[in-house]
Amino acid sequence: MADTTAPILTSLTFQTTFDLRDGSKQITYTAYVTDDLSGVDQVTVWFDHAYTYDLGTFDLNILFDNPSPGVWTDTTTISQFNGPGVYNVTKVTVSDLTGNTRTYWAHELAALGAPTSLEFITGTYNPTEGGDHLVGSNKVDVLRGRGGNDHLEGLGGSDTLYGDDGNDVFYVDGDPAFGFEHDVVYGGTGYDTVIASGSFRLESNSSVEVLKVASGFLNVSLTGDSGNNWIEATAGNDTLTDGGGQDTLVGGAGNDTYNVSGPLTVIQDASGFDVVNTSVSFTLSDGIENLVASFHDSSNIVLKGNAANNSIKGNSGNNKLYGDLGADTLEGGFGKNIFVFDTKVAKTKNKNIDKIKDFSFQDDIWLENKIFTKLGSAGSEKKPLKLSKEKFWIGSKAQDANDRVIYNDKNGKLYYDADGTGKAQQIQIATLDKKPHLTNADIFVI
């Protein structure tokens, strides 16, 4: 017989008031649930807003374990760094193994005699030279940690938080541009961390080393200051912006966007489809697919890809583009650009064959003679050597033993041939979109 009946909650108990002034406290939820057929699968308690448990993990619900038949429990540690106030239970859901779910709203829970709220009591501490925990209000506050490793939490309002000495942790609201009031943080000396509930930007002179988004906040925008920052998001499609220092940007899962203005910025991202927007020379780290220079910038920069199939776009200056491994798409921009081929050519079809989208008469192609060995040993990046006419041929294949670079002007395909009309097969290294005019004077050996 099919099970179409949801489980029944008969009782729910937990302590309702916690004094956190002397430290974190444990809370145990206990639910009694019955189900006659398939069995109970899940019990969840939902709150109207998040509280902090186990120091730094934010959640709106509590998921239970099942230690014995009919009894469901969950024990967590309520962090002492929660703000004061009441956290209301909005509903409890119970589900069985076949997916039948029953929802108990607050008035139904009250009818069962179950608690419908939590209350946290916290203190406002006078700062000392030790490690303090300072909690603001829902108004505009100024909190100062002084010495020691302090925890500062502004709560509501546009707050200003000073860490002063020590390795401090700041819990802040997000940026007003994204629907939050904006807190201002000054870390002082020490190694300081900001944990933001949503999008956040550091002040230019914040002296904060780490900016992280709190767990559970997705699709955020995080911006560093002029110092050396570690900026870290979680899952979601995030936007991370350095401040020009020696920064590390960690996007996490999702399709992330990185805005880079510092030449020493490092990006760590191994998943999703990501893009780096840069105003400086930049090399893609592993896991990043796209590199885009600012179109309105006219500085001369160097853009380098990685082993993936990259899309690399230059600015309006004179750019140098390195695709590296992979089947890359290269677009130089309006300036006099150089497209560099300095990685091992792939004999497998469509592997490491780059597409040049906008080659023009003023652009050049550079070929590394350590890879394209039959072009001769002369030439370097400092002193590129123009390819001789004898080694260049326009057509579908080599016409004599000296032909080394073959350009098919009918389809835009560019080949390297190690022995001209010999037995070795020519290898395609690029395709030039729109089949532009190309001569030996456009190709240099380095």
Residue-wise pLDDT for 47-73, tens only, equals 887 776 654 443 445 556 555 667 888
Put residue 240 in one of left, alpha, beta given phi > 0 → left and psi -120 to 50 → alpha. Answer: beta
Asked whether residue 413 carries a pLDDT value surpassing 70, the answer given is: yes
Give the mean pLDDT of 186-211: 94
Looking at 149-163, 255-269, 324-338, 367-381, which range is the least confident one? 149-163
By three-state DSSP, how is residue 281 classified? Answer: coil
Predicted TM-score (pTM) of this structure: 0.69
Q: pLDDT-based confidence at 124, cuts 50/70/90?
A: very low
Confidence (pLDDT) at 40: 86
pLDDT value for 133 = 82
Query: Between 229 and 41, whose confidence is greater?
Result: 229
Domain 8-121 class, CATH top level: mainly beta
Q: Under a CB-based contact definition with an 8 Å cutoff, are residues 44 and 31 in contact?
A: no
- Considering Cα of 20, then 198, then 253, then 232, what sign does the dihedral take? negative
Beta bridge partners of 19: 121
Q: Map residue 176 onto helix, strand or coil.
A: helix
State the DSSP H helix or E strand holding residue 106, giving kind and residue range, or none if neither: helix 106-111
Per-residue buried b or exposed e for 420-438, using 16+ beta carbons within 10 Å of the residue's own CB: beeeeebbbbbbbeeebeb
The stretch 16-34 carries a mean pLDDT of 87
Q: What angle do CA 304, 202, 177 make, to 5 degrees?
A: 95
